[in-house]
Structure 1
Amino acid sequence: MNISDAIRSIIKPHTDDVLAPLSTVFSETMDREKPWQEYPRPQLVRDSYFSLNGLWDYAITGNRMLPTSFDGQILVPFSPECSLSGVRRNLQPGEYLYYHRLLPEDFCHLPSGYRLLLHFGAVDYEADIVLNHKQVLHHTGGYLPFTADITDFLLDGENHLSVRVRDDTNRTQQSRGKQSLERGGIFYTAQSGIWQSVWLEQVPGSYIQELYFLPSYDNKTVTVTAVIAGSAPSQAPFIRVTAGNRELLSTELSRQKAALSTYTAVFSISEEDFHPWTPEDPFLYDARLSCGRDQVSSYFAMRLYSIESKAPGDIPVFCLNHTPCFLMGALDQGYWPEGLYTAPSDEALIYDIKVMKSLGYNMLRKHIKVEMARWYYHCDRLGMIVCQDMVNGGGSYSMPLVSYLPTVSQTLCNQIRDHNYSLFSRKDETHRNRFEQECRDTASYLKFFPSIAIYCPFNEGWGQFDAIRITDMIRQLDPTRLIDSASGWFDQGCGDFVSVHNYFRKLSVPVERFSWKRLKNHSCPDGRARFLSEYGGLACQIKGHTSVDRIFGYKHYDTLPQFQEAYSRLIQDSLLPLKKKGLSGAVYTQVSDVEEEVNGLMTYDRKVIKVPFPVPKRSA
């Protein structure tokens, strides 16, 4: 182990640092009056759509009362802490952030029998939606979408929409990801408020609320499920599926007696039309569902993620469509210098995915953040496998336990059980229950996207608790995905992976330390695959492209040629030979620099790709 590198990577807050302004080419060319005009929900698309992204009035106050005047204007969907919002002010614990705007009068004049839905992609963290001084909805949680039917609150003429937000970030045990009010090292600037698109939709009295597809790869069948909201439909939903210009089927869905608002159908795909999804060939089937006057377009893919042993005695490996597939992954924090959690544009999301594919990566680990739906859609259509983290919460983490002890002895960490809630900063039962509900909601929301292969409920012990039970819960909710139960350390012997983080030692295949009997009790019939879920972190600062002069990383290089040589050696000589020894995948840290953490393959402003060549290939 490299002791000097480990000591240099000790995490410290640096609240006095002033971050230099950086921008990507995407914010330099975006429409500042109408950002993010793309339809926000690609999995269920309607023609009726009005974007509310743009300038809203805002105020930050110390009380819950709606303000009578405002501090200025904020550009939605960018948080007040970031430069793109035009505000650049931190929302503090105990403060309230207010938004206000008028709704478009023409769009609020509804056809007979229609309803008006108000959608929020995500608001961090607690939000009260108020229309014409009447509360419509209260929502808690900063990472998932929510919708309000505002029809009954509409008035003739002007309609005033207000949103009240409170966000205590890491002052409570709420889920917060990498956000910190004391940024520094691997923890970044906190953000608050509306950070994904806001939009209106006109829908008929009976409308399609949810739509998802469950493919059975081996049987070449697909189960489609639609949830119908509002009044009972006059006729059953009807689906049409196409592949290119070829119509594959058209069929009616049947109502489920156990859930009267739910309709399903099971259909087969012929051998001739069967087209598996892979990163090299990310084929998507198009679908169109109608229910009376409501029509939506969607898509699905045929693919199967599994852990399989190809021969007796072999280490089980990750497979895509029953074929071993090495996960060449990169850690994706989803941070942007001018937008924090919010990318400047749709093109920016696409750029990151395409760059990582060009560098030889076929998987991104979306790190303790739930991204906007369009990011998953682009992974689906571009062919990027996703490992999806749940968003961590809990109290203030004990860094000697969750960071320094694992650096000294991962073996000792694996002896520690996570039922001690105090040890892992999880004493508050209310927030434990809320985390479980957020896990359920996240799995329910993301189960649509075919690119998502793995869920990861816990990272490095941050707020970890009852991993065995949480793993079983997620598996019951979505048995089509694999689970990396405890990424890094504090393995509880559950899930589908032996998952290790290694920044300071020679790379090796993680070792299984739990009994076969215990593994069989937790849905691992072939044992667990070996996953190097974080490694690398090589740091190289590029002058003029960093937020702060302070450098954080796990091994530092002064020049780009030195960095490129070290990176090539790490991949070619240390990582890829482990494929023959049974390693299923590895996640390099990371896609881009973030603030003082300069260990990205790109700079924070995405203007310099530090490794402008494909990842070296080595035979399996």
Structure 2
Amino acid sequence: MNTKTTVLVALFLSCLVHAQWKPQGDKIKTKWASQVDPAKTLPEYPRPIMERSQWKNLNGLWNYTIQDFGKTAPSKYDGQILVPFAVESSLSGVMKQVGAEKELWYETNFTIDSNWDGQNILLHFGAVDWKTEVWINDVKIGSHTGGYTPFSFDITPFIKKGNAQKLIVKVWDPSNDGTQPRGKQVKNPEGIWYTPVTGIWQTVWIEPVSAKNITDLKTTPDIDQNSISVKADVAGAEAGDLIEISVFDGTKEIAKQKAVVGESLDIVLDNPKLWSPESPFLYQTKISLIVKDKVVDEVKSYFAMRKISSKRDENGIMRMQLNNKDYFQFGPLDQGWWPDGLYTAPTDEALKYDIIKTKELGFNMIRKHVKVEPERWYTHCDQLGILVWQDMPSGDAQPIWQDRKYFDGTELQRSAKSEAIYKKEWKEIMDHLYSYPSIVVWVPFNEAWGQFKTVEITEWTKNHDPSRLTNSSSGGNHFQTGDILDLHHYPGPELYLYDARRVTVLGEYGGIGLPLEGHLWKAKDNWGYVKFKNESEVTAEYIKYAQTLKNFVTAGFSAAVYTQTTDVEGEVNGFMTYDRKIDKMDFKKVNKINTEVIDVLNKKNK
């Protein structure tokens, strides 16, 4: 077959795939929706903090069916779904509800590259909401619970030689009928609650590895000692196996050390370059697994030299510090939702866009609200220079959103099963995201949603990762635990409580609404704490709040979070419309006042 014929065949197949799929529904969409290619869906490497050279993306059109809970595998399927978009989303090509009484089944086939012979094959799922069971060639190989963390299986024993491999996935997600972490998903979305997300919503992929292979990396910077601690977990390791770590400043190798597998390496750096939102410098690394003088596995990674801490200032106020200097953190509440993909951004460019716009607004931080993002999002934050407060997705009993009477110190009495689910998933999230330097604060609870055993959970969180600050409950029931007292006040800022022993922050405020016709998820009953009619009015109100905030920074606030990055479904209080097509404020004016707010505390450190 000549080159021209090959190109024509490829073009024909691509058109055929497109003909079998199209976005569903008549809701608004982002500009990136039209760039989604079923033959090349989210093609970027999904785990940039631990990258291997060989891998294969399994995203694309799979067969699917929705059937009653507890039935055996379907003999035929309802149609095709575009993985990894949740079945309720437009971009899935399905846009159907599932619920606790149903199960979602997937089926696809894939091949193993011939040059992978003799290697073990790992099957990776970026995230699947919520309970997942997996079959390879009609053999059940494993299961996983949790909607926000990756999981993988070594499928080597189940691969058939020379044939296409059959992959079947079954998912059950009870949405708000269950106690599991789910963030803002509800069956009947209204107000501040959004459409459910069921099934695969992050990239599915395979990669070849040696029998002995690196499974995880844990990097911990210590700027006070000019050192970086790196620990590699290895599958199949034996006595005498070694880990070698090379550190690069750009292309220049500046350090190289070896240790036996299982030992942490503490590498001292001469005059290390510190990471900050103003200068987000990343050191590149190469980690090699050496067995009998032979490199059997190798991954690329990176780290940053930065420190997050708190310290009393000259006025006796506890302040957040970045790299041992008082540093005011200011950013938007970021829900991470998309009108076309729900939990899943249509493209990697879209995923990065909101972070770029956040920087354009003059912010230095994002509070990732009751959701965990794909790993590429955190790498974008690392590279662009944005601090991240990472919420635990809330679950179990959550109060009616209009009712704020739950701020009374009363904790939820969860069942033992519900507690176990929470603890398992929170630990997995923290372990999964540990090495991303942009993350500086863990937030176990939000506004008393599912809040239980606050002191125990907060102290456990702090002990599990003492390298970051712990914000026990953002705007929820307050207990004397953790590093931060977090207040919520809408619409304008208010310093109505103060903690002399902990950092005091304004974890949410704002919510200035501006509904723009042609860019709305729904025609009426849109939500904002206050509403205005045009960009100039909204911008003026934002600046008024920011001027008030400046005074509270001097009085005691060390951080603030404005609601929010974009409109989301019925909420119209974003800096941008939900489809990201319109900036609803004057970004230059917002940048100017945001810089002034930050500089109240930070200018003395410049």
Both proteins in one fold, TM over 0.5: yes
Given the alignment of the two structures, is residue 124 of structure 1 paired with residue 126 of structure 2, yes or no? no
Partner of 2:337: helix, strand, or coil? Answer: coil
Given the alignment of the two structures, is residue 553 of structure 1 paired with residue 551 of structure 2, yes or no? no
Given the alignment of the two structures, is residue 468 of structure 1 paired with residue 455 of structure 2, yes or no? yes
- Mapped contact 2:493–2:510 kept (Cα < 8 A): no
2:47 matched to which residue of 1? 41
Distance in 2, matches of 1:531 and 1:235, equals 47
Given the alignment of the two structures, is residue 243 of structure 1 paired with residue 253 of structure 2, yes or no? no
Distance in 2, matches of 1:558 and 1:44, equals 47
Partner of 1:185: helix, strand, or coil? Answer: coil
Q: Amino acid of the residue matched to residue 367 of structure 1?
A: H
What count of residue pairs does the alignment treat as equivalent? 563
Distance in 2, matches of 1:533 and 1:158, equals 51
2:76 matched to which residue of 1? 69
TM-score, structure 2 normalization: 0.90
- Mapped contact 1:501–1:532 kept (Cα < 8 A): yes
- Mapped contact 2:100–2:175 kept (Cα < 8 A): yes
2:300 matched to which residue of 1? 297
- Mapped contact 1:417–1:492 kept (Cα < 8 A): no
- Decide whether aligned partners of structure 1 residues 61 and 124 sit closer, same or farther in structure 2, where only a CA change above 3 A counts: same
Distance in 1, matches of 2:26 and 2:36, equals 21
2:218 matched to which residue of 1? 212
Given the alignment of the two structures, is residue 96 of structure 1 paired with residue 99 of structure 2, yes or no? no
Partner of 1:199: helix, strand, or coil? Answer: strand
Offset at residue 123 of structure 1 (A): 0.4
Given the alignment of the two structures, is residue 87 of structure 1 paired with residue 94 of structure 2, yes or no? yes
1:279 matched to which residue of 2? 277
Partner of 1:23: helix, strand, or coil? Answer: coil
5+ long unaligned stretches in structure 1: 1-17, 256-261, 407-412, 517-526
2:541 matched to which residue of 1? 566
Given the alignment of the two structures, is residue 331 of structure 1 paired with residue 336 of structure 2, yes or no? no
Query: How does 1:59-458 map onto structure 2 within 5 Å?
Result: 59-62=65-68, 63-106=70-113, 110-112=116-118, 114-156=119-161, 157-230=163-236, 232=238, 235-255=241-261, 262-271=262-271, 274-291=272-289, 292-311=295-314, 313-397=315-399, 403-405=403-405, 413=407, 416-418=409-411, 421=413, 426=414, 428-458=415-445
Offset at residue 234 of structure 1 (A): 6.3
Offset at residue 195 of structure 1 (A): 0.1
Distance in 2, matches of 1:154 and 1:544, equals 50
- Decide whether aligned partners of structure 1 residues 512 and 19 sit closer, same or farther in structure 2, where only a CA change above 3 A counts: farther
Distance in 1, matches of 2:112 and 2:153, equals 18
Q: Which string of whole-angstrom CA distances, capped at 9 and with x for unpartnered residues, describes residues 3-52 of structure 1?
A: xxxxxxxxxxxxxxx98511111122232321111000011000110000
Offset at residue 265 of structure 1 (A): 1.1
Distance in 2, matches of 1:177 and 1:40, equals 23
Q: Which string of whole-angstrom CA distances, capped at 9 and with x for unpartnered residues, describes residues 32-80 of structure 1?
A: 3211110000110001100001111111111431111111111000011
Partner of 2:242: helix, strand, or coil? Answer: coil
Distance in 1, matches of 2:164 and 2:519, equals 46
Q: Which string of whole-angstrom CA distances, capped at 9 and with x for unpartnered residues, describes residues 515-565 of structure 1?
A: x7xxxxxxxxxx211100000000001110111122101001122221121
Distance in 2, matches of 1:173 and 1:468, equals 21
Partner of 2:106: helix, strand, or coil? Answer: strand
Give every structure 1 segment of 4 or more consecutive aligned residues whose post-TM-superposition deviation is greater than 4 Å.
none
Offset at residue 397 of structure 1 (A): 2.9
Partner of 2:113: helix, strand, or coil? Answer: helix
How high is the sequence identity, in percent, across the aligned residues?
38
Distance in 2, matches of 1:326 and 1:19, equals 43
Distance in 1, matches of 2:570 and 2:462, equals 37
Q: Amino acid of the residue matched to residue 87 of structure 2?
A: P
Q: 1:57 aligns with which of 60, 63, 66?
A: 63
2:494 matched to which residue of 1? 508
Partner of 1:97: helix, strand, or coil? Answer: strand
Distance in 2, matches of 1:242 and 1:461, equals 44
Offset at residue 210 of structure 1 (A): 0.6
Partner of 1:580: helix, strand, or coil? Answer: helix
Distance in 1, matches of 2:367 and 2:32, equals 23
- Mapped contact 1:316–1:528 kept (Cα < 8 A): yes
Distance in 2, matches of 1:397 and 1:326, equals 31
Q: Which string of whole-angstrom CA distances, capped at 9 and with x for unpartnered residues, describes residues 69-114 of structure 1?
A: 111111000011001010011112121111111111435x7432x2
Offset at residue 323 of structure 1 (A): 1.0
Partner of 2:383: helix, strand, or coil? Answer: helix
- Mapped contact 1:92–1:167 kept (Cα < 8 A): yes
Distance in 2, matches of 1:234 and 1:154, equals 31
